[in-house]
Amino acid sequence: MQLLDGKLVSQSIKDSLKTKLIEAQSKGAKIPHLAAILVGNNGASETYVASKVKNCAEIGFKSTLIRLEESIDEEKLIDAIQQLNADNDIDGILVQLPLPKHINEEKIINVIHPGKDVDGFHPISVGKLVQGLPTFVSATPYGIMLMLEHYNIETKGKHAVVIGRSNIVGRPASILLSRNTNPGNCTVTLCHSHTKNLKELCLQADIIVAALGKPGFLTADMVKENAVVVDVGITRVPDAAKKSGFAIKGDVDFANVAPKCSYITPVPGGVGLMTIAALLMNTYNASLQK
Ligand code: NAD
């Protein structure tokens, strides 16, 4: 079994971005600038946004964090996005999800200019993704593909089972894996909460992407020998032994599944770090459009 090491791969992506940036700047290119909007004080969202901002600084990107009150109304949030759309120095805009219940996420995502949609959630980005056209690919599925590519994992003709059909992870991951690209060219089965024979399907899978948000869901009896397992899950579970009071758990029962796998991502240290690296790549590419 080999670990798919998100720390190592994301660092190599960041190093290469840093090098490209230094070279581009010597030729007068602008510094990529990411704007992140955080509404409210959700603990996990705070952590994710802080990490995105920190990673921008690490590689020499600019970032602007806009914090808005939990109680903000939709119109004010839309105004804030439109200001960023109009600001020529801003290359990428992300609105950290989830948003408070009174705000319609779909409506908000639609306001982001597609040319600055570095999270790849805008319908135009998703439409292009489905058609195989160049676009911003949402960061988590993009990060998964970069990971598979880095380790030269053969995907052509393989059966991939994706568990979870969310617009931000499962569904785009299923599309990317099925595209006529490398990595890609898989036969994909997209499973969800109404899938009846999940265990049987998983047992047929050469590659499993677990993205459902249920800690330890994928157990060893659901995985065939030598499968590649990508664990997207990030759930905070209470853990008195930790200073923070919680531990981060993935969707895979890692201890028992790992010995059966050819490759597996750890949690933490896997897909989460790749997501940030992919976001930085999208931001860099957005800055090149200028
Ligand atoms: P979501 O809640 O939007 O979607 C979960 C999906 O899982 C749904 O499509 C649902 O049908 C499916 N599902 C739920 N229970 C199931 C079951 N018993 N069997 C089969 N399918 C089932 O979640 P999401 O936003 O896609 O996130 C999934 C997980 O990935 C969460 O733990 C989230 O925190 C994590 N996540 C991680 C990253 C990262 O960077 N690593 C990024 C985004 C999300």
Q: One digit per residue, pLDDT tens: the chain, 290 residues?
A: 999 999 999 999 999 999 999 999 999 999 999 999 999 999 999 999 999 999 999 999 999 999 999 999 999 999 999 999 999 999 999 999 999 999 999 999 999 999 999 999 999 999 999 999 999 999 999 999 999 999 999 999 999 999 999 999 999 999 999 999 999 999 999 999 999 999 999 999 999 999 999 999 999 999 999 999 999 999 999 999 999 999 999 999 999 999 999 999 999 999 999 999 999 999 999 999 87
Which numbered atom of ligand 1 lies nearest the CA of 192?
21
3-state secondary structure 130-195: HHCCCCCCCHHHHHHHHHHHHCCCCCCCCEEEEECCCCCCHHHHHHHHHCCCCCCCCEEEEECCCC
Instruction: For residue 142, give the nearest of 226, 190, 209, 187 by alpha carbon.
Output: 209
Cis peptide before 123 (omega within 30 of 0): no
Candidates 119, 231, 251, 253; catalytic one:
119
Pocket test for ligand 1, best of 162, 234, 280 (most atoms within 8 A of CB): 234
Domain with CATH 3.40.50.10860 in the chain: 28-119
Residues with CB under 6 A from ligand 1: 140, 163-166, 168-170, 191-193, 195, 198, 211-214, 232-235, 271-272, 275
Both tokens of 23, joined, read 């070279």
Query: Which pTM does this prediction carry?
Result: 0.97
Closest residue CA from atom 31 of ligand 1: 213
* Cα–Cα dist 10/260, whole Å: 25
Helix (H) or strand (E) holding 201: helix 198-203
Give the count of beta carbons closer than 10 Å to the beta carbon of residue 47.
Answer: 14
Distance CA 81, CA 76 (A): 9
Q: How far is the CA of 102 from the centre of ligand 1 (A)?
A: 22
Pick the CATH number of 139-272 from 3.30.450.40, 3.40.50.720, 3.20.20.120, 3.40.50.300: 3.40.50.720
**Token pair for 198:** 């999940």
Which residue's C-alpha comes closest to atom 13 of ligand 1? 193
Strand pairing report for 235-238 and 246-249: antiparallel
| Centre of ligand 1 from the C-alpha of residue 88, in Å | 35
- Residues 83-110: b if buried by 16+ CB within 10 A, e if exposed: ebbeeeebbbbbbbeebeeebeeeebbe
What architecture is domain 28-119?
A: 3-Layer(aba) Sandwich (3.40)
Pair 118, 282: CB distance under 8 Å: yes
The confidence score (pLDDT) of residue 189 equals: 98
The residue annotated as part of the active site, out of 5, 14, 91, 96, is: 96
Domain limits, CATH 3.40.50.720, in the chain: 139-272
Cα 236 to averaged position of ligand 1 atoms, centre (Å): 13
Residue 214 Cα: closest atom of ligand 1: 32
The best mutation among 212, 217, 236, 273 to test binding of ligand 1, ranked by most ligand atoms within 8 Å of the C-beta, falls on 212
Give me the helices (H) in 4-132, please.
6-26, 43-59, 74-86, 105-111, 123-131
pLDDT of residue 289: 86
State which H helix or E strand residue 63 sits in.
Answer: strand 62-68
Catalytic, out of 52, 116, 158, 249: 52
Active site residue 119: yes
Residues contacting 152, CB < 8 A, separation 6+:
none
Look up 52 and say whether it is catalytic: yes
Count CB atoms within 10 A of the CB of residue 68.
Answer: 16
Residue 68 CA to residue 79 CA, distance in Å, equals 12
Instruction: Tell me which of 109, 193, 267, 275 to substitute to probe ligand 1's pocket, judged by most ligand atoms within 8 Å of the beta carbon.
Output: 193
CA distances from 238 to 112, 132, 217, 246, 249 (A): 36, 41, 17, 4, 10
Backbone angles phi, psi at 95, to 5 degrees: -110, 115
| Catalytic annotation present for 131 | no
Distance, CA 25 to ligand 1 centroid (Å)?
39
- By three-state DSSP, how is residue 12 classified? helix
